[in-house]
Structure 1
């Protein structure tokens, strides 16, 4: 134990209830034992704190609970945990997700063998009954065990691979001056992506474990699975910010961010169409025109930007701009 490096696990929670028990049990089953867990209570109003306190009486790992007086969301809670962390490695775990018992051991072995700055692994998405909703390779590709940060970043932006919050372990030094953005107006829905991209940009070598080591719990009522929220436009603005940040210093990366910005416009609008099934096409056209296709967003669809996309996306953008009714009907089928 003397030579084993410490992993700091940061778990924000808010009104999580009984779901957290499985998460705690999965931590206590880890074969690699040198880790601490920092629970950050985001001013829960139910009995979550009591459930966690009672569950922690049975565990053998180091832990602490930090209580916040005011609810602020997961980003400030994660930042509090990050500042408190003592470990050489940082891992963010959601309070309803489940780790496989070899997750830390596999990750530490790769860190020790190859010395990457970041390690990520596969995940499986499950529903409240434990039924598989999506396996990693249903959508995403495998990569080499070790790759350069730039190659991983580009694959991540292009959605060839995916790093979600609980499938990544960082060397703490990589996160120097990197924190979750706490501005809910600009980073609601995108704080995780923004953090991950900044960390990848600040790293050199990335490790990949070709094994499923965590289950992502798709819970009804969670932020990412709720009804359409206009703040999903933040996904577009995130990639606009990155595009403008890099367009004068890295042409390749700026082009990658630019393409993703255009794709996000299509995805955000399709998300609205698929979620608001109680509205007819005329109502949808009116909402899209007044609330999504603002002057700012419409300017991103100009030909000088969209010509860099593939033909499928170019056609969709053309329909969206000039024949929105046809785009709506197409989006319902996609």
Structure 2
């Protein structure tokens, strides 16, 4: 597993010094950064060791109400591809989203399932334009249930050999459907992934970024797949059978956590196309920017537990790679969601994480940094954890 923050810092130094011919300084400055970080960690560790750490009795920040999950599929495979779009208040984007599919050169049989999740704007009226299209099925819900429920409904009612998830404000690009299906059919692949580019409006798309192309790579080793893959549900083509006994968790954020931790573990053959095929709209106020929302921490904690439970339910092994993913989630990712938590809340979360990690730890080989994260969580060293987790 990569230390994501270290890579970001190192790349930032390279950008500033590499072009000036000072590449020899990159490693030197990076090591100074590491020394600074670990000295800060040690200073806070000493303080935490002598601090009082009474675990408070508090109620978890968010209660998730689970409903009966339906597995399997309603339809036999009848076509090559089902594209699932969960739409909510997408009046400004939904037509562009659908046309980004229809305007592609697709030689395969496909369907588009649009689940209008009880939008309160004119999304329903916008969808009427496509109501008689032979490849499009529209479902207008009378009750808002969330993106996971909409995706799960699409999975259950799909009829394609392969599935693709498309967010209602995003766009497909560069004939990615044909390219990914060509490779999937030729090599019997479980997952095909393509790169994505972020944009805020169609006028700001940097098409120079979309021209980046590398050689397609096929791989069957799980750890190698994760090096090339993003953790999002979109920008990928999945063999439908991967989702026969898997559903997105409903009622929480970070539902895409199941992609790397669960779905990819069932994948035997993966390909990264090496080209851009997805345009991701970086909308203001998106979930990735809402770090001030305390509920996100509880959602994140719930998702860690959910992935462990699903691993056990599906009889998947808790191996070294999976455990290290849990540590990453308990470190860097949890740290990024906890800015607005007070110490009692963090101590309570640490107690939950300790129980979970103790249950999963089978004496796996870890890096020094991963061991330090574990020590901080188990001993409730909050300030030292903030230093080493970042």
TM-score over 0.5 (shorter chain):
yes
User: In the alignment, is the contact (CA less than 8 A) between 1:218 and 1:225 conserved in 2?
Assistant: no
User: In the alignment, is the contact (CA less than 8 A) between 1:27 and 1:101 conserved in 2?
Assistant: no
**Residue 275 (structure 2) pairs with residue 211 (structure 1):** yes
Alignment RMSD = 3.4
Which is higher, the Rg of structure 1 or of structure 2? 2
Match among 86, 93, 109 for residue 12 of structure 1 = 86
C-alpha deviations, 1:189-214, integer Å up to 9, x for none?
34323256544344432222111110
Q: Point out where structure 1 has 5 or more consecutive residues left out of the alignment.
A: 137-141, 277-282
Match among 323, 344, 357 for residue 258 of structure 1 = 323
- Which residue in the other structure is 1:74 paired with? 147
Shift of 1:330: 6.4
**Residue 309 (structure 2) pairs with residue 234 (structure 1):** no
Shift of 1:322: 5.6
Map of 1:1-334 to 2, 5 A cutoff?
Answer: 6-33=80-107, 34-54=109-129, 56=130, 62-128=135-201, 130=204, 145-148=217-220, 151-152=221-222, 154-155=223-224, 161-182=229-250, 184=251, 188-194=252-258, 197-227=261-291, 228=293, 229=296, 230-241=298-309, 250=317, 253-274=318-339, 276=340, 284-290=342-348, 292-293=349-350, 295-300=351-356, 308-319=365-376, 321=379, 323-328=381-386, 334=390
Shift of 1:66: 0.6
* Structure 2: distance between partners of 1:61 and 1:8: 13
Q: Does the residue aligned with 2:256 lie in a helix, a strand or coil?
A: helix
User: In the alignment, is the contact (CA less than 8 A) between 1:43 and 1:67 conserved in 2?
Assistant: yes
Q: Rate the CA distance shift 1:260–1:242 in 2: closer, same or farther, 3 A.
A: farther
User: In the alignment, is the contact (CA less than 8 A) between 1:43 and 1:71 conserved in 2?
Assistant: yes
Q: Does the residue aligned with 2:164 lie in a helix, a strand or coil?
A: strand
C-alpha deviations, 1:42-64, integer Å up to 9, x for none?
1111111112324x38x976212
* Structure 1: distance between partners of 2:312 and 2:243: 23
* Structure 1: distance between partners of 2:162 and 2:83: 9
Shift of 1:101: 3.5
C-alpha deviations, 1:12-65, integer Å up to 9, x for none?
1111220223212211221115422111011111111112324x38x9762121
Shift of 1:245: 6.0
Shift of 1:92: 1.3
Q: Does the residue aligned with 1:165 lie in a helix, a strand or coil?
A: coil
Q: RCO higher in 1 or 2 (8 Å CA, sep ≥ 6)?
A: 2
Q: Rate the CA distance shift 1:84–1:131 in 2: closer, same or farther, 3 A.
A: same
C-alpha deviations, 1:126-149, integer Å up to 9, x for none?
3357457xx89xxxxx8962222x
Q: Point out where structure 2 has 5 or more consecutive residues left out of the alignment.
A: 1-77
Instruction: Answer with 15-24 or 170-179: which moved more.
Output: 170-179
* Structure 1: distance between partners of 2:286 and 2:256: 15
C-alpha deviations, 1:226-264, integer Å up to 9, x for none?
234221212321343366568x974xx522221211221
Shift of 1:9: 1.0
User: In the alignment, is the contact (CA less than 8 A) between 2:255 and 2:303 conserved in 1?
Assistant: no
TM-score (norm 1): 0.75
Q: Rate the CA distance shift 1:315–1:201 in 2: closer, same or farther, 3 A.
A: closer
Shift of 1:87: 2.2
* Structure 2: distance between partners of 1:181 and 1:273: 22
TM-score (norm 2): 0.66
Q: Rate the CA distance shift 1:311–1:111 in 2: closer, same or farther, 3 A.
A: same
